[in-house]
Structure 1
Amino acid sequence: MNLRPLLALLTLALAACAPLQPPQKPPEKRYTAAELLALQPADFAWPATSQEGERALRGQALADIRAVLSLPPGPERDAALPQLFGRVAHHNAEVSAARTLLLEALPTLGQRDAEYQRALLTAAHTLYPAESAPLLWPLLPQLTASKPFAIAAYTLLQADPGAVPRLLDLVQRQFPGWADDARLTALMLRLRPSAAAQPPLPDLLAAPLRPGFAVVYSLQRPGRLQMGLALVRGADGRFVRDASGQLFTSPQLALARTSLPGTITNGNTPQGLFTIVGAGTATNPSIGPTPYLHSKLPVEATVAEFEHADAAPAAAWSEAVYGSFLPESWRRWLPIHEAWLAGRAGRDDIIIHGTTVNPAYYAGTSYFPGTPQQGCMVSSESWDPATGRLLASRQLTLAQAYAAASAREDLAGYLIVVELPGEGPVTPAEASALVLAAAR
């Protein structure tokens, strides 16, 4: 088993759940509906999911982490910190040992560029919010870019929900034009939440969006710390059911390792409307070879891609164009516009995919057996520890349910991510009740 290419891939810093295309890899495979429907789990293998492959990859990652931890203070160690904390979070390893390096670096971030700030502040939010909070208050006035500022603010809110008044005042003084910045708009919505009640979910499930296209609905809990469910509505407007007549549902996690909001790089999947423009096989080592559904945000996708039009519509992107896809009762409910804000903020490559990450890393969590990654919607898969061959895949089942319901070889359609109030994992019974109400 040759693990060298996979070891090389592991060293890449992943900016999103994007399908990586290293130079040594051929272009990814794209699928028609017919090709997707013909696939079986046995068609796929991924050496890194075998016991031998996983041991080798984890061993290399731990060696890389410890090599950085052993570096003396100086430019070489500073340059290695962004990748270090990414690996620490991914492998949940050497968290305590790396803490001191982060806490020492935080007061110096005012002299760093925005991307370096983003990486270390993300580590603070993900791994050390309580310990980092005292160091972030004096740092905030030095953060002139909205993304690092917002990450620091979310970290302070995580450590102390009572920080709201102070942060409200600081945002308005430090960024008087905050309303023109999507990240700061989202932050202000968090600081000043709307009192409006969520519109009826059956309205959203029954919404035509654009007639004749299939839709994936991803029902998630607020906070994303529980498993959600994916449903599929066919091009004919009816929800997919199994042979026994039961509603098709597939567990899905829309939680990022960072737990940051959807307008922030590598944050949770934003709530709202996406377009689906096909299916492909990624080369990202954490996603693996199972076909993903290629979803795109507004702005990332053109209006034409959202309309699935042969010719580009005359209208440019605007919040009104985004709202035109939603039912009237949902158009003015701001949380469902998070996807619009995320697209404006530059997020992209948030796709519907499987996973090669061992769920055992997350045993004991509220979302087990889910495996959070970098902001995409992730379905569980089972891989043979002896051979690395795919045994079962909820991702493949979901993608094929969508392909069968789409009636389009190009797999064009839509995705809606919406939060369902409540506690615990989203259940098939909840989904069935909502679908029944939507049909009335």
Structure 2
Amino acid sequence: MKFRLPLALLTLALAACAPLKPQPPAEKRYAAAELLALQPGALSWPAASTEGERARREAAVAGIRARIALPPGPGRDAALPALFEAVAQYNAEADAARPLLLDALPTLGGRDPEFQRALLTAAHTLYPAESAPLLWPLLPQLTASKPFAIAAYTLLQAAPGAAPRLLALVPQQFPAWADDPRLTALMQRLQPSPLAPPPLAELLAAPLRPGFPAIVSLQRPGRQQMGLALVRGADGRFVREASGRLFASPQLALARSGLPGILTNGNTPQGLFTIVGAGTATNPNIGPTPYLHSKLPIEATPAEFEHVDATGAADWTQALYESYLPPSWAGWPPFKEAWLAGRAGRDELLVHGNTLNPAYYAGASYFPGAPQQGCLISSEDWDPATGRLLASGQLRLAQAYAAQARPDLAGYLIVVELPGDGPVRPGEAEAAVAAAGR
């Protein structure tokens, strides 16, 4: 069955990320008991069925082709951000869209920073090698730190030898770079720490704030492989299955853009988050499975981060963020990425499920993961005939966490990188927990 929609409706639907009808219900918040009582079969998402997914993709690809066919001018320019977002999400028509991006890059100096951000993100995501020669002359024209940083990371991706030139350019173009979290993170990338990471056991045993559970997401540097999410109870012990095996649920912390976590729509930042509850999303790519509501520093107030009722609390400081961490990790710059991301204004990085078809990314190193825009994502299986949920890594993780939590689900989230190759393996997680004595 094929669906034909008017171009105007296609454009509106794609721009708004609107799901197929029926529209999703209004967001619901969950207490721990409600979350624990939820069964996969109670959840369905018609757009995740074979027919619904096909209709959605056909509409998206039709929208991509319609935008590519627009004549040069303001109308096509306005359509470019949504065009490249759809190309990346559906892994479709990348070759046909490439000339539009390469034609637009030299004009970005006169554009507003948000337009610059969108197209430079497309360059990083889809065409880094082809874009790199066009970015060097563009860099001096990028006066806002966010687009400048995206262009710099794209150059590093295309040519790692670009680091010395960029290292000299940043302070020249941005004398006050140390006051900007995006440029601080970029300079750390350009001047990596010579020190080895602190012992992971010290972080896994750290109390954070006593009496609260935590999710620990073990991820590879670069995020191109599936990680594992563990659950640590309020008593500090890691949750185990009935068999005695460590609970470890596959989880992806990669964004489609592959940009660092400091930047909009980049990977999940490494560091410490707070968890402030659970809810259902209205984003059609997330679907109906309850997400865990994680927040970065700054996004959450100090009182909210600490889970206390307080008014007139002190402002956020780096020292306050570091007070949650063992001393060795408080002094480790890469683990402050979450702090810098919060300062840079990132928000709404949730722990959630997935309704996107993983087949869009078949052959990728992270398959069967399906990256989105920087959240922590668990895979889910949907009935191809009905769209009913058959199995959910997200629900399994959320319920393992809820079983350890207060009714309000307050707790913490740790995202930490584990050196190595390939997906994070259960044996690695077991060894790390054993070393922590937990």
Which residue of structure 2 lines up, in the alignment, with residue 428 of structure 1? 426
Aligned partners of 1:227 and 1:367 also within 8 Å: yes
Q: CA deviation at 1:409?
A: 0.1
Listed as ranges, the matches of 1:20-31 within 5 Å are 27-31=26-30
Q: CA deviation at 1:314?
A: 3.1
Listed as ranges, the matches of 1:105-124 within 5 Å are 105-124=104-123
Deviations 1:153-184 (Å, cap 9, x if unpaired)? 00000000000111011101000000000000
Q: What letter is aligned with 2:429? A: A
Structure 1 residues 433 and 313, CA gap change in structure 2 (3 angstroms): farther
Which residue of structure 2 lines up, in the alignment, with residue 180 of structure 1? 179
Q: What letter is aligned with 1:438? A: A
Structure 1 residues 246 and 316, CA gap change in structure 2 (3 angstroms): same
Which residue of structure 2 lines up, in the alignment, with residue 235 of structure 1? 234
Distance 1:312 1:210 in 2: 19
Q: What letter is aligned with 2:255? A: A
Distance 2:353 2:12 in 1: 18
Which residue of structure 2 lines up, in the alignment, with residue 141 of structure 1? 140
Taking only aligned residues, the RMSD between alpha carbons, in angstroms, comes to 1.9
The answer to whether structure 1 residue 403 and structure 2 residue 402 are counterparts is yes
Mind listing any 5+ residue stretches in structure 1 that lack a counterpart?
Answer: none
Structure 1 residues 7 and 357, CA gap change in structure 2 (3 angstroms): farther
Residue aligned with 1:267, SS: coil
Structure 1 residues 159 and 345, CA gap change in structure 2 (3 angstroms): same
Aligned partners of 1:51 and 1:386 also within 8 Å: yes
Residue aligned with 1:300, SS: coil
Q: CA deviation at 1:9?
A: 8.4
Q: What letter is aligned with 1:12? A: A
Q: CA deviation at 1:311?
A: 1.1
Q: What letter is aligned with 2:422? A: G
Distance 2:169 2:403 in 1: 51
Which residue of structure 1 lines up, in the alignment, with residue 14 of structure 2? 11
Residue aligned with 2:403, SS: helix
Deviations 1:109-132 (Å, cap 9, x if unpaired)? 011100000000000000000000
Which is further off, 303-312 or 149-158?
303-312
Deviations 1:245-275 (Å, cap 9, x if unpaired)? 1110000000000000001100000000000
Q: CA deviation at 1:10?
A: 4.9
Q: What letter is aligned with 2:409? A: L
Q: What letter is aligned with 1:423? A: D
Aligned partners of 2:181 and 2:340 also within 8 Å: yes
Distance 2:11 2:167 in 1: 44
Q: What letter is aligned with 2:283? A: N
Aligned partners of 1:7 and 1:57 also within 8 Å: no
Which residue of structure 1 lines up, in the alignment, with residue 264 of structure 2? 265
The answer to whether structure 1 residue 69 and structure 2 residue 55 are counterparts is no
Which residue of structure 2 lines up, in the alignment, with residue 358 of structure 1? 357
Structure 1 residues 312 and 207, CA gap change in structure 2 (3 angstroms): farther
Aligned partners of 2:351 and 2:377 also within 8 Å: yes
The answer to whether structure 1 residue 202 and structure 2 residue 201 are counterparts is yes
Deviations 1:329-377 (Å, cap 9, x if unpaired)? 2110000000000000000000100000111111111111100000000
Deviations 1:268-303 (Å, cap 9, x if unpaired)? 000000000000000101000000000000000000
Distance 2:90 2:260 in 1: 22
Aligned partners of 2:125 and 2:256 also within 8 Å: yes
Aligned partners of 2:26 and 2:282 also within 8 Å: no
Which residue of structure 2 lines up, in the alignment, with residue 57 of structure 1? 56
Distance 2:24 2:113 in 1: 31
Distance 1:395 1:386 in 2: 21
The answer to whether structure 1 residue 287 and structure 2 residue 286 are counterparts is yes
Aligned partners of 2:41 and 2:390 also within 8 Å: yes
Which residue of structure 1 lines up, in the alignment, with residue 437 of structure 2? 439
Structure 1 residues 9 and 47, CA gap change in structure 2 (3 angstroms): farther
Distance 1:219 1:418 in 2: 5
Distance 2:328 2:184 in 1: 22
Distance 1:273 1:345 in 2: 15
Structure 1 residues 288 and 26, CA gap change in structure 2 (3 angstroms): closer
Distance 1:265 1:7 in 2: 25
Distance 1:26 1:42 in 2: 17
Aligned partners of 2:270 and 2:415 also within 8 Å: yes
Distance 2:74 2:125 in 1: 24
The answer to whether structure 1 residue 345 and structure 2 residue 348 are counterparts is no
Q: CA deviation at 1:306?
A: 1.0
Which residue of structure 1 lines up, in the alignment, with residue 131 of structure 2? 132
Aligned partners of 1:216 and 1:231 also within 8 Å: yes
Residue aligned with 2:15, SS: coil
Deviations 1:158-214 (Å, cap 9, x if unpaired)? 000000111011101000000000000000000011111100000000000000000
Q: CA deviation at 1:7?
A: 7.4
| Count of residue pairs the alignment pairs up | 431
Q: CA deviation at 1:12?
A: 3.4
Q: What letter is aligned with 2:239? A: V
Structure 1 residues 107 and 231, CA gap change in structure 2 (3 angstroms): same
Distance 1:381 1:58 in 2: 18
Q: CA deviation at 1:312?
A: 3.8
Which residue of structure 1 lines up, in the alignment, with residue 417 of structure 2? 419
Q: What letter is aligned with 1:417? A: V
Q: What letter is aligned with 1:45? A: S
The answer to whether structure 1 residue 322 and structure 2 residue 321 are counterparts is yes
Which residue of structure 2 lines up, in the alignment, with residue 215 of structure 1? 214
* Structure-2-length-normalised TM-score: 0.96
Distance 1:168 1:295 in 2: 34
Q: What letter is aligned with 1:363? A: A
